[in-house]
Chain A
């Protein structure tokens, strides 16, 4: 199984900060990586698919990069509504595996 190691697990930042969250795959997953945002009490929501494609309706301050084993989600200018937990998901092979999550809070 492919292990997805996400870091950091917790992040505190200020409004306007540039925020980066990382996911590392235990083996090559090409660009088959998605990023999800989950707000408290809600279902997850897709932000980025296939490593760097912005999902329809998602603000352009969100971006993704990477390929192979190392991936990054970047929020260019943190907004209060971005407080959430973020997860990566590899869909290169079965079983699908999620990263452990990054809880993002406002400083």
Chain B
């Protein structure tokens, strides 16, 4: 059974950092580009980052570029999102996903940025 399980969310103050993790199982993780997608409360979906299979290429929208870093450890079948200089507008549920025709999503993890 395919599983993507996110962890590391929670309440954090503006300007602080948080690191999300996503543990993958049930498929060959190293064969897939992986992505983070977020959804602010009662809002739409926003793509946050994508990483290539080897980790050598990463992609970000301007809204998080320079603040967020996506990485992976294929030996551990794990995906990460390091989030620095957090803002209130980063408050959202964060999903890890393949965002591919092979369509796998985690259940999401909530991040709340508030003082």
Residue ranges of A at the interface with B (Cβ–Cβ < 8 Å): 1, 36, 38, 43-46, 49-50, 53, 55, 87, 89, 91, 94-101
Contact = CB atoms under 8 A, between A and B. Distances in A.
A55 B106 contact: no
Contacts of A100: 44
A40 B93 CA distance: 13
Contacts of A89: 45, 47, 99
Contact of A49 (B46, B101, B105): B101
The 5 A-B pairs at the shortest CB distance, nearest first, are namely A46-B103, A43-B105, A95-B61, A96-B47, A98-B45
B44 to A, nearest CB: 5
Contacts of A45: 103, 105
B95 A95 contact: no
How extensive is the interface on chain B, given as a class?
20 to 34
B32 interface: no
Interface of B: 35, 37, 44-47, 50, 59-62, 95, 97, 99, 101, 103, 105-108
A54 B17 CA distance: 40
A97 to B, nearest CB: 7
A95 to B, nearest CB: 4
A94 to B, nearest CB: 5
A44 B107 contact: no
Contacts of B59: 94-96
Given A44-B95, A96-B59, 6 more contacts: A43-B95, A44-B105, A55-B103, A96-B35, A96-B50, A97-B47
21 contacts: A1-B61, A38-B45, A43-B95, A43-B106, A44-B37, A44-B95, A45-B103, A45-B105, A53-B101, A55-B101, A55-B103, A89-B47, A91-B99, A94-B59, A95-B62, A96-B61, A98-B45, A98-B46, A99-B44, A100-B44, A101-B44
